[in-house]
Structure 1
Amino acid sequence: MSERVVPPTARQRRRPTKQGVVLSEALIVETALRLIEEHGADALSVRRLGRALGADPSSLYRYFRHTDDLMLAIADELIGRTLRTWRPTGDWRADLRDLGLRMHAGALAHPRAAVLSSYRVTGRAYEIQAVETILGVLRRAGFPDAEAVRIYHVFVDQALAHGALDSASLAMPKAAREAEAAVWRATYARLPADTHPHIAATARHLVADMPHSSYPAALDLLLSAAAARLAENRPRAARPTVTLDTSVNTAP
């Protein structure tokens, strides 16, 4: 797509496409997301997208200025899908853990799109809602503003990075994934203790753990560290006071 701008008032297509559907931003994003998962990044072409929608490719400019604009909308939709399934409970640690796991699961549900969008900043509605929501969870928990932003940054980057990493692995052919998992059994589990004592000692754990995502464990480590920081930052007046009994028992 080129840098062609269509006023918002002119974006709505009123006539159905050749397939009998009325174009909308949501329909275009949904179709583009499906094509990316089927064909990869090359699917984001005006011609292929128009063909899938049964519409003249030029009609897409009513909704998106160019393919990067569409990519940002796709990234924002992935965020929205996570937020729509998440229900906070008021327990900041449990809520962030649940949200992080949902973000990771959402990336794995759309691995190719997740790899393409993990490093983008959309500035769109769902991303703004996510930033506001996560900062709200942290500030209500008692984190000072600077600390809340720092933990938010780490939390989001960790989820996106693991989502992209695991999505890239999932996007590999099944045979390639199985071959890589077998390396832990065929190579590492057979290294002798006299040359590789630490690998040999932990081999069975490597075989069991390494083929799986480390994100849940990494998330728990982050939240434990955040909880420890919260305890350190809590105002002294809010901390429980321990009174020592210094009286002397003079009873016979």
Structure 2
Amino acid sequence: MTERVVPPAARRRRRPTKQGVVLSEELIVATALRLIEEHGADALSVRRLGRALGADPSSLYRYFRHTDDLMLAIADELIGRTLRTWNPTGDWRADLRELGLRMHAGALAHPRAAVLSSYRVTGRVHEIEAVEAILGVLRGAGFPDAEAVRIYHAFVDQTLAFGALDSASTALPGPARAAEASVWRATYARLPAGTHPNIAATARHLVADMPRSSYPAALELLLEAAEARLTACQRRPVAE
């Protein structure tokens, strides 16, 4: 794609595509997201996307400068989908837990797109809304500004990292996922205590726990640490 994006007010096509639909940024993003989940990153080509939309590939330049611009829009759409399902209650810890779990679930719902977009900074409307909302939760709980940013950073990076990690696993073919899950029982659970005492002592827990995502536990540890930091901040004497 090139650098000739048309302003939003001038983007709407006067005629439908060959499939009878009118192009829009939302439609292009939704179609690209579907193609990525079906075919992987290679789906983000102007030709394939135009074919799926029943439109001349050149018409996509009216909406996005290049495929990376489209990728940022996809990343922002995933954020938006999560935010639309999140209803803060005023309990900062419960609200962050719920948002984190929804972000993680959203990544698993679109694993290939999540792997491609987890490390991107979009600067778009939904990401801005998310940053504002999370900082609002933390500042509203009483975290000083520097602490609020530090915890926001750790919370978001942890969630995105687990989303990408677990999405990459989810995107594996079924037989490969099953083979990896079986390693804990077939290999680790059979190691003798004489050579591997710690693994042998915890083998049944490893077999039960390791095939699952550790994100919920990691999120809880982060929230516990954040609450401890909040308590410490509240106990500090106020500077005169």
Q: What TM-score results when the alignment is normalised by the length of structure 1?
A: 0.93
Match of 1:27 in 2: 27
Alignment-mate amino acid for residue 142 of structure 2: G
Match of 1:167 in 2: 167
Identity percentage of aligned residues: 86
Match of 2:224 in 1: 224
Match of 1:53 in 2: 53
Shift of 1:30: 0.2
Taking the aligned partners of 1:62 and 1:3, their CA distance within structure 2 comes to 10
Taking the aligned partners of 2:48 and 2:161, their CA distance within structure 1 comes to 29
Taking the aligned partners of 1:101 and 1:218, their CA distance within structure 2 comes to 11
Taking the aligned partners of 1:176 and 1:3, their CA distance within structure 2 comes to 41
Cα pair 1:107 1:164 within 8 Å, conserved: yes
Instruction: Decide whether aligned partners of structure 1 residues 237 and 146 sit closer, same or farther in structure 2, where only a CA change above 3 A counts.
Output: closer
Cα pair 2:107 2:114 within 8 Å, conserved: yes
- Please list, as runs of the form range in 1=range in 2, the aligned pairs for 1:88-127 lying within 5 A after superposition: 88-127=88-127
Could you report, residue by residue, the CA deviation over 1:126-174 in whole angstroms, capped at 9, with x for unpaired residues?
Answer: 0000000000000000000000000000000000000000000000000
Q: Say what the alpha-carbon RMSD is for the aligned residues.
A: 1.1
Cα pair 1:46 1:57 within 8 Å, conserved: yes
Taking the aligned partners of 1:185 and 1:70, their CA distance within structure 2 comes to 43
Shift of 1:237: 7.5
2:198 is equivalent to residue 201 of structure 1 = no
Shift of 1:6: 2.6
Alignment: residue pair count: 238
Cα pair 1:6 1:65 within 8 Å, conserved: no
User: Which ranges in structure 1 are unaligned for 5 or more consecutive residues?
Assistant: 239-252
- Please list, as runs of the form range in 1=range in 2, the aligned pairs for 1:77-88 lying within 5 A after superposition: 77-88=77-88
| Partner-residue secondary structure (3-state), 1:234 | helix
Larger Rg, first or second structure (1 or 2): 1
The list of structure 1 runs, each at least 4 consecutive aligned residues, that deviate by more than 4 angstroms after superposition, is: 235-238
- Please list, as runs of the form range in 1=range in 2, the aligned pairs for 1:137-148 lying within 5 A after superposition: 137-148=137-148
Taking the aligned partners of 1:199 and 1:168, their CA distance within structure 2 comes to 26
- Please list, as runs of the form range in 1=range in 2, the aligned pairs for 1:152-191 lying within 5 A after superposition: 152-191=152-191
